Amino acid sequence: MKTVKDYIRTIVDFPHEGILFRDVTTLFADPRGMRLAIDQLLDPYVGQRIDKVVGLEARGFIIGGAIAHQLSIGFVPIRKKGKLPGAVISEEYKLEYGEAVVEVHDDAIQPGEKILVVDDLLATGGTAEAGNKLVERLGGEIVGCAFIIDLPDIGGRKRLEDLGYDIHALCQFE
């Protein structure tokens, strides 16, 4: 039987020379792959209270929407700066070159809500750390952070675990 990793395509030299881009669109496009990924992302949290799923732009929206539907809970997007129409709170984080900002609507999460944070891929952990900070500034309690792919050599998992977050990833690429 195919594993989640088997459905992920690698594109060489995208978006820059030397990068092996792990492309989850081939996983999402396959009905068995999509179901396998969503089921496995949720495996560790069966029986736990989750009030909302938070998805990180952009591929975290695809996963987060499917999880929200599966659990019959709400979905909250964390977006890049300037995309959300209502009042927001913001967090800046470092990229390889320069900085970026992520935002969430300031009324999207209520204090004490149990939150699952999801994205397709964990590299440095900078995006997830900034997203987690936004959730916590609104009083949300992070149950876990779930990813399809972990790139362990880049160190994001250790960074987030050192901050006390529970990390779940379906596969790794060196």
- Positions marked active-site: 59, 96
Q: How far is CA 2 from the centre of its chain?
A: 23
Under a CB-based contact definition with an 8 Å cutoff, are residues 148 and 27 in contact? yes
Binding mask 1-20 for ligand ADE (x = CB under 6 A): ------------------xx
Per rule CB under 6 A, is residue 25 in the interface with ligand PRP?
no
59 binds, among ligand ADE, ligand PRP, none (CB under 5 to 8 A by kind): ligand PRP
Which one of ligand PRP, ligand ADE, none is in contact with 103 (Cβ closer than 5 to 8 A by kind)? none
Partner interacting with residue 22 (select from ligand PRP, ligand ADE, none; CB below 5-8 Å by kind): ligand ADE
Cβ contact 100:85 at 8 Å: no
By CB under 6 A, name the one of 52, 59, 157, 168 that touches ligand PRP. 59
Task: Give the footprint of ligand ADE on residues 93-152 (CB under 6 A).
Answer: 121, 123
